[in-house]
Structure 1
Amino acid sequence: MSIRHLDALFNPASVAVFGASGRQGSVGATVWHNMRTGGFAGPLYPVNPKHASLDGLKVYRDVAALPEAPEMAVICTPADTVVSLIKALGARGTRAAIVVTAGLNAAQKQAMLDAARVHTLRILGPNCIGMLVPHLGLNASFAHIGAKPGDLAFVSQSGALVTAMLDWAGSRGIGFSHFVSLGERADVDFGDMLDFLGSDPKTRSILLYIESIQTSRKFMSAARAAARNKPVIVVKAGRSTAGQAAAASHTGALAGSDAVFAAAIARSGMLRVDSLQDLFLAAETLTRYRDGPTGQLTVLTNGGGAGVMAADAAAAAGVPLAELDDALKTKLDAVLPANWSHANPVDIIGDAPTSRYVAALEALAHDPQSAVLFIHAPTAIVPSADIAQALLPQISAMPQRMLGCWLGDQAVAQARQTFRDAGVPDFNTPEEAIRAFSFLRTYRQHQAELLQTPPAHSDSQTVDLPRLRGIVDSVLTSGRELLTEPEAKEFLAAAGLPVVPTRTVGTEPLEARAAADAMGYPVALKILSHDITHKSDVGGVRLNIGSAAELTEACLAMLARVREAQPDAVVLGFTVQPMVRKKHAHELIVGVSVDPVFGPVVLFGDGGVAVEVLADHALGLPPLNTPLALAQIERTRVARLLHGYRDEPAADLEAVAGVLVSVSQLLVDVPELAELDINPLLVNHEGAVALDARVRVSAQRPAGAANFAIQPYPSELIESWTWRDQPVVLRPIRPEDEAQHRRFLEKLDPEDIRLRVFYSRRSIEHSELARLTQIDYAREMAFIATRALPEGGEETLGTVRATVDPDNHTAEFGVIVRSDLKGSGLGHRLMSKMIDHLRARGTRRLVGTVLSINHGMLELARALGFQETDNPSDPDDHEMRFVSLDLQAPKPSAPGP
């Protein structure tokens, strides 16, 4: 991750165009023309050894001839010149370059990056259209059309799409803060752009066109940070599942690359749409309606047909229409004619005068939980503009609950503009309005998952790590990757998962009968072979065997079927297990596979032998916790059955979520885990149990925390410390700490809070607490000191937090201990732990801003080796002091004897 010198790329003081030309139709001529006519205010230098002047300006021969180092360069010269130009520009002091040039081979691209890295020169491209920053008049591209200033940022992997989108957006008056073509992304990529645009004050929403992602953890970290600040909306091209066909598990076959990408978008708080038109529709809607209610929708219309269209679209999109209660119907009866619809959509009839619109909307305004979609078809009764003007006071008071749909064109243009000026999003058709509302619902769900705070769990499953390691090592040592069914069941049991008892026997029916007699009938019989992956496919499963005679017949028949279907398979014997009979049970699947881009993924869905045909499943990126697991379950159709219906009781969803969380933890504990299927996972109102499992491990270690797209909780940083003769735990903060962190803040004196975090209130909102406790460990760290309470649980004594810039160069810290524990050494110990952690991750510098009157903090900083200076951003500010520590400086040697 890096945003270093991206300011030079997107807000350069001066620009040089290499390959600038007057030859019509050439890339160099087009870029030069766009730069000259765009309105860029800084110095602009054409560079081309074949010209002496261009458009009345002196043309420079090379980098050395330029009167100054251009802050940014645009390179339109042949591929074999690019590396030498980057070397010369970097040495001269240029900080950014756009390499429009196409055709660089792999060696040239690497040489270009190596030359740029020495001088931290940033590169956009190669093989890109370039970029536009309209509010600066900066058009460093060879696009055929410019862009209007606005507050949407558009970043595209496709150059051809850039030019088409500029044309399309220009005809609709859509403006941009930035319009960027990434090209081959040799340096600047989607992660860099999200980091830069996420904190850019001129960008209201970020729009991405993505074909592929290269560095998933960088992308996810940047996306999660940006999505907390503003809407990020994505169009993803390519829905291929190529590469999945060879997977040995059902999960591997179901978890296609596009489905994994969709799961990543959901986990990061972004919104995915299917078309470029929807991209702008979603951006407009999220910007105007981001904080409005999305639970249900009430449609108010003067046309029954338009209302029916809206209702049909809502049903198709899964958008619930609000039920009108008796009190609301009474209010509407009082102001509407007797033949109004008496249902939602609320049809106030086509002959409605202005007063009827006002009265109907007034009645609907008293339900703050429901959004209102206003649909109007123009009539000769009242001009549309008059209706909009009459409704203006009401919609101005509730713009966050209103959506507008004025059907028509010129006849409703003024009315539509009135609504827009009041901040109400406007749509051309009822279907478009419903689609936009469904985007809002999806976006809100993703944001909730991004900011959720799971409860603490004291009854988590016990994991037997030595037993897990023994199973994995034994399988890999034997030269195998697939575990037998008994090994897979033991593997799950060691992970704390509920499994059905399983006995392994040889091929003699008498052994199977002895096992069945011991456990009791009925039983299930399954073939045992290293060579058979899907037992059902070869007739290797027989259920509900009720007697010894039936079991003998089943053994012999199964051996015959397997020998015929797969004659080369070596049959080791059978497994025998009791039939698990659960009333009101559902067969589910829980699985694991490894995506080549996003790493390990967890699958949940409807199970059984038809799992691939039904294809009812949802994917989640680990690490998972209970709220995330429950949200994943809700994204499936089978979830509706699990909630219960008629006489069917609701299934134990907490138990299912527990299985998902345990499987997620398995991916951390067992890096060798490559594929896993629990199918079926049998669940009812009493709990869940795994009836069958398939596990594949690999010496390549495709799982493990290092391969997660989202960095999991760093449990390796937990340590114990003896303080005042009592045990204290120093550990990274976690989402489950929200309630505990609230209690900690409530015990602080207001003055201590003011001295350390510069505000005086002790109360803090859930959203703020979530941001403090649910952190991205890849770019932020917070350690807390805790001790056990006599009545159980624990309390927080102090905390230290450091936020690292995307370049891992500078971290800014804050530290605070409970007010009654000041001067106890806790602050020094917490700061020391943070300093050690940042040093280990390669951070260069640790800085902080301290009030001058905070003598305790300044003394602590001096004791830890910090340097103290005036506030660098305002040297005349004597109320603040700035402290900094060089983390990578050699430690002073110990004094001699």
Structure 2
Amino acid sequence: MSVRNLKALFRPQSVTVIGATTEPKAAGSVVMRNLLQADFAGPIMPVTADHNSVGGVLAYPDVASLPQAPDLALICTPAATIPGIIHALGEKGARAACIMTPALHHFHTEDGRTQLEAAKEAAKAHGIRLLGPNSMGMLVPGIKLNASIAPENALPGKIAFVSQSGALCTTVLDWACAKGIGFSHFIHLGDSCDVGFGDVLDYLGSDPHTRAILLYMETIDQRRNFMSAARAAARNKPLLVIKAGRSADGALAASSHTGALAGSDLVFDAAIRRAGMLRVQDIEEIFGAVETLARSRPMKGSRLAVLTNGGGIGVIAADDLADGGGELADLPLDVLEKLEAFLPPNWSRGNPIDIVGDADGARYAKTLQALLDCKCIDAVLVMYAPNAISDPAEVAEAVIKVFKDKPRANIMTCWAGNAMVAKARKLFSDAGVPTFETPRAAVQGYLHLLQYRRNQELLMETPASAAVDFIADTAQARRIVSAALGRGDSMLTEAEAKGVLAAYGIPIVETRIAHNPAEASRIAKELGGDVALKILSPDIVHKSDVGGVVLNLDGPFEVEKAAHAMLERVKTTFPDARIEGFTVQHMVVRKPGTLELIVGVATDPIFGPVILFGQGGVAVEVIGDRAVALPPLNLNLAAELVKRTRVSRLLKGYRGRPPANVDALHGTLIKVSQLIIDIPEIAELDINPLRCGAEGVLALDAAIKVAPAKPAEERLAIRPYPAELEEVFVMTDGRPVTLRPIRPEDEPNHHVLVSKLTPEDIRFRFFGLVHELPHTEMARLTQIDYDREMAFIGELSNGDGSHETLGVVRTITDPDNEAAEFAVVVRSDLKGSGLGKRLLVKMIEYCRSRGTGKIVGQVLRDNIRMLKFIEHLGFKQVKIVDGDIVEVEYDLATPMVTSPEPPEAA
């Protein structure tokens, strides 16, 4: 992933069209016509040996003849010519190219490479970025660039649209032009041989001309790069996604319940949610969602009030809200009394608030004001049904006045109808008030706001104190997995699978192995009481499906008899299965209120390992109540995963049954997350059923599928907490401090750290007086993407079990890994402790290990101690910015400087 030369691709100063022609319907003719008709201000240089000019513009016979190096080349020539053309462009000094020719991978060079491979090698040798092949090009209306074969030009706007489908591009463009919707960028990725979603998101995420980004996706590669880029861009502006292929055809191969349940579309939803984006289902919905997100205020809650002059449309909105999982606000008594004082006698006295058909602007405004003053209401949907008594425009103007007087309120409008309300809708649009044509569209817009807020909270969340504190026996789990792989088995036995769970602190039922019916009888006698008997076979995952489970067996005789019968059944239903014996375990009495759940792991072909949770039991696929999430999980993410299922409501207790121990459940999910991070050989995992009640959790059955491990970088979509970077440092006063990467749960201690800085240190660190950082900003500092950012904290453990953050150093690395921008601060009373130096040295070592080119930063000119401190470590002053800021730089190719100890400034 890289943004290198993307400015030349998307904001070029000059363009060449290679394969330009006068043939009306040829790509080289269409793209020339589009460039000229759009009035692109820079040079347009057609390249063709067949014509002296194209579209009235002087043509050149080849790339070498061009009068200057073009920023962007649009290539419309046959596949066999393209590698040579890219080499010539590189020799000329071009920096970006869009290949419009399709199917380069179907044609081969004389040495056996595909033309696509040859083109990519030529581009890499010269640092040229490639869009396509098979791309219809791009449109950037803000610079009057139509470098495409699109049938019409795009209007200027603040929305970027990026698509893998050329057909959808033309459809969206036609739809948007008719609706008057404009774009900052309109990009067709084509086959994405070089520039993909991750690169474009990195570019557009920091583009000041883009307010929101819309994606049409069919598939992705480089999952971790995509997730990193998406999470970074989603912090800056709304990202909305249409994903093709929602059917079951893309489901995972199922050798376990989890594999059957965790279909690829469900996994994609989980990835979108984790990245802080919003998924929508069609073109009209995506633009409606952009309108809502761009114009509405941030949502703080989910309680909606519906204000209407027509009971019918109000009820429709309420029904749509209920269908979408929304919540109508309960009107408190004081609000009802306030409304009763001025509304007509026949108003609805409830929510929806029907203020009767003859309501004028004054009645609407007074009612809306009362609703916005209520702390039990988070948003108001104002609706209007046209009639012969009131004026829709006059009512709209009254609502707009309230909207402007309440800048923090969330108000949405729906003026139902067409011609009679057209003027009112335009008034709303001009005033920046979200407005919709139908109740369903309005409610859908509101639900978009809710879902987007929830997804953003996953980016900004701060976990509570961990509900689990366990030390995993990772070595034991590895030994069990390695033994199975050594035997050539892909499935662990039930006893082995439970052994792996036990190594990670997950409660299990004691399970003993019997190799024959007689031994099963003896074990049953030793255990005493009722037992469960299960077949033991590496080839049978779902034992109950083949008659391989018998429960509530009382006594040795019953066990031996059941074992013989089980062997006969299994041999009949699954004759080729290898039978290694039986497992025998105590029957666990199910207490009232105890639920059977499933916790599992599957490996998605795109996003890698995913964690599944839902209602379990033998009918788990039929029930279909499940949710998935990407690891790693923390406490908040585990809780959010559980809340997305129907069974979560039963976990709260009902009809006198006590609530389940959800802390134990969340802890189990976190342990499973850590297990698949630590043991990459685990491809699938099932804990089904996982009993969960007031007393905690218990794994009754388990299955684990294993395979030789792939490198971690290829496996996880999100880089987990890098525990290997932890170390202990002893300060000059003798106190040991843990140096470790920052975690989201460090936010409270980070607030304390800032509060203990002197005003001077705050000014030096934040370039101004900052009394307190808001949660959103502090979350950005503590919940980081370890693939792109790093922050090491110095943490002191107190004798009472509490911890203090004493200092922090952080870097943010550009997508090309060329430069990392640093900042460092240590608590003001710890100057001279050596902590600041060790933190910064640790960061230098880390950046060097990642192959980063340099570390850069900015220091106030009067921060003399800091300047001396970093110069001692090898930083150089490179320039003065804005008169009072010094830009400094450390070349990571140079060895670490060791000179006399400097003043401790960090």
Tell me the residue number matched to 2:129: 122
Of 289-298 and 311-320, more deviation after overlay is shown by 289-298
Match of 1:168 among 175, 184, 198: 175
Partners of 1:23 and 1:54 in 2: CA distance: 10
Tell me the residue number matched to 1:445: 454
**8 A Cα contact 1:669 1:704, kept in partner:** no
Partners of 1:467 and 1:215 in 2: CA distance: 32
1:783-818 CA distance string (max 9 Å, x none): 112222233222222211111001101111111111
- The Cα of 1:762 is off from its aligned counterpart by 3.6
The 3-state SS of whatever aligns with 1:683 is: strand
Does structure 1 residue 799 correspond to structure 2 residue 832?
A: no
Q: 1:469 to 1:708 in 2, by over 3 A?
A: same
The 3-state SS of whatever aligns with 1:105 is: helix
Match of 1:771 among 767, 776, 780: 780
- The Cα of 1:608 is off from its aligned counterpart by 0.3
Tell me the residue number matched to 2:496: 487
The residue type equivalent to 1:886 in the other structure is: D
Does structure 1 residue 37 correspond to structure 2 residue 37?
A: yes
Does structure 1 residue 26 correspond to structure 2 residue 26?
A: yes
Does structure 1 residue 723 correspond to structure 2 residue 731?
A: yes
Tell me the residue number matched to 2:327: 320
- The Cα of 1:704 is off from its aligned counterpart by 4.7
Tell me the residue number matched to 2:890: 885
Partners of 1:608 and 1:295 in 2: CA distance: 33
The residue type equivalent to 1:18 in the other structure is: I
Q: 1:774 to 1:891 in 2, by over 3 A?
A: closer
Partners of 1:548 and 1:349 in 2: CA distance: 77
**8 A Cα contact 1:705 1:712, kept in partner:** no
Partners of 1:611 and 1:579 in 2: CA distance: 21
Tell me the residue number matched to 1:385: 393
Tell me the residue number matched to 1:869: 878
Partners of 1:309 and 1:246 in 2: CA distance: 41
Match of 1:785 among 794, 797, 800: 794
Does structure 1 residue 301 correspond to structure 2 residue 308?
A: yes
1:482-519 CA distance string (max 9 Å, x none): 1111111111101111111112223234x334333333
TM-score by length of 1: 0.96
The residue type equivalent to 2:33 in the other structure is: H
The 3-state SS of whatever aligns with 1:837 is: helix
- The Cα of 1:326 is off from its aligned counterpart by 1.9
- The Cα of 1:414 is off from its aligned counterpart by 1.6
Partners of 2:300 and 2:411 in 1: CA distance: 10
1:19-38 CA distance string (max 9 Å, x none): 22222111111100111110
The residue type equivalent to 1:320 in the other structure is: E
Partners of 1:792 and 1:293 in 2: CA distance: 34
Partners of 2:883 and 2:382 in 1: CA distance: 56
Partners of 1:740 and 1:353 in 2: CA distance: 54
Tell me the residue number matched to 1:426: 435
Partners of 1:680 and 1:483 in 2: CA distance: 17
Tell me the residue number matched to 1:533: 541
Match of 2:705 among 696, 718, 733: 696
Does structure 1 residue 594 correspond to structure 2 residue 606?
A: no
Does structure 1 residue 208 correspond to structure 2 residue 205?
A: no
Q: 1:155 to 1:245 in 2, by over 3 A?
A: closer
The 3-state SS of whatever aligns with 2:294 is: helix
Partners of 2:710 and 2:258 in 1: CA distance: 15
Tell me the residue number matched to 2:85: 85
**8 A Cα contact 2:252 2:604, kept in partner:** no
Tell me the residue number matched to 1:746: 755
Tell me the residue number matched to 1:376: 384
Tell me the residue number matched to 2:484: 475
Tell me the residue number matched to 1:543: 551
- The Cα of 1:325 is off from its aligned counterpart by 2.2
Unaligned runs of 5+ in 2: 107-113, 900-906
- The Cα of 1:5 is off from its aligned counterpart by 1.0
Q: 1:706 to 1:791 in 2, by over 3 A?
A: farther
Q: How does 1:84-233 map to 2 (within 5 A)?
A: 84-105=84-105, 107-233=114-240
**8 A Cα contact 1:39 1:138, kept in partner:** yes
Tell me the residue number matched to 2:507: 498
**8 A Cα contact 1:673 1:703, kept in partner:** no
The 3-state SS of whatever aligns with 1:31 is: helix
- The Cα of 1:340 is off from its aligned counterpart by 1.7
Tell me the residue number matched to 2:74: 74
Tell me the residue number matched to 2:904: none
**8 A Cα contact 1:670 1:703, kept in partner:** no
The residue type equivalent to 1:542 in the other structure is: V
The residue type equivalent to 1:74 in the other structure is: L
Partners of 1:280 and 1:691 in 2: CA distance: 48
Match of 1:577 among 581, 585, 588: 585
The residue type equivalent to 1:817 in the other structure is: V
The 3-state SS of whatever aligns with 2:597 is: strand
Q: 1:379 to 1:459 in 2, by over 3 A?
A: closer
- The Cα of 1:212 is off from its aligned counterpart by 0.4
The 3-state SS of whatever aligns with 1:229 is: coil
Aligned Cα root-mean-square deviation (Å): 1.8
Tell me the residue number matched to 1:557: 565
Partners of 1:625 and 1:292 in 2: CA distance: 24
The 3-state SS of whatever aligns with 2:572 is: helix
- The Cα of 1:229 is off from its aligned counterpart by 0.6
The residue type equivalent to 2:464 in the other structure is: P
Partners of 2:770 and 2:697 in 1: CA distance: 46
Q: 1:704 to 1:83 in 2, by over 3 A?
A: closer
Partners of 1:833 and 1:574 in 2: CA distance: 54
Tell me the residue number matched to 1:631: 640
Does structure 1 residue 342 correspond to structure 2 residue 382?
A: no
**8 A Cα contact 1:293 1:371, kept in partner:** no
Tell me the residue number matched to 1:291: 298
The 3-state SS of whatever aligns with 2:639 is: helix
Unaligned runs of 5+ in 1: none
Of 294-303 and 566-575, more deviation after overlay is shown by 566-575
Tell me the residue number matched to 2:415: 406
Q: 1:315 to 1:413 in 2, by over 3 A?
A: same
The residue type equivalent to 1:887 in the other structure is: L
- The Cα of 1:893 is off from its aligned counterpart by 13
Partners of 1:491 and 1:69 in 2: CA distance: 61
Partners of 1:245 and 1:893 in 2: CA distance: 55
Partners of 2:757 and 2:664 in 1: CA distance: 38
**8 A Cα contact 2:137 2:188, kept in partner:** yes
Of 604-613 and 465-474, more deviation after overlay is shown by 465-474
**8 A Cα contact 2:133 2:193, kept in partner:** yes
Partners of 2:467 and 2:326 in 1: CA distance: 37
**8 A Cα contact 2:873 2:897, kept in partner:** no
Q: 1:158 to 1:605 in 2, by over 3 A?
A: same
The 3-state SS of whatever aligns with 2:66 is: coil
The 3-state SS of whatever aligns with 1:64 is: helix
1:34-62 CA distance string (max 9 Å, x none): 11110211122111111112333211111
Q: 1:187 to 1:229 in 2, by over 3 A?
A: same
1:453-499 CA distance string (max 9 Å, x none): 11343842221112111111111111112111111111110111111
The residue type equivalent to 1:274 in the other structure is: Q
- The Cα of 1:416 is off from its aligned counterpart by 1.4
The 3-state SS of whatever aligns with 1:233 is: strand
1:689-730 CA distance string (max 9 Å, x none): 10000011112x158565110000111111122332332221
Q: How does 1:812-831 map to 2 (within 5 A)?
A: 812-831=821-840
**8 A Cα contact 2:528 2:555, kept in partner:** no
Q: 1:797 to 1:361 in 2, by over 3 A?
A: closer
- The Cα of 1:170 is off from its aligned counterpart by 0.1
Q: How does 1:502-517 map to 2 (within 5 A)?
A: 502-509=511-518, 511-517=519-525
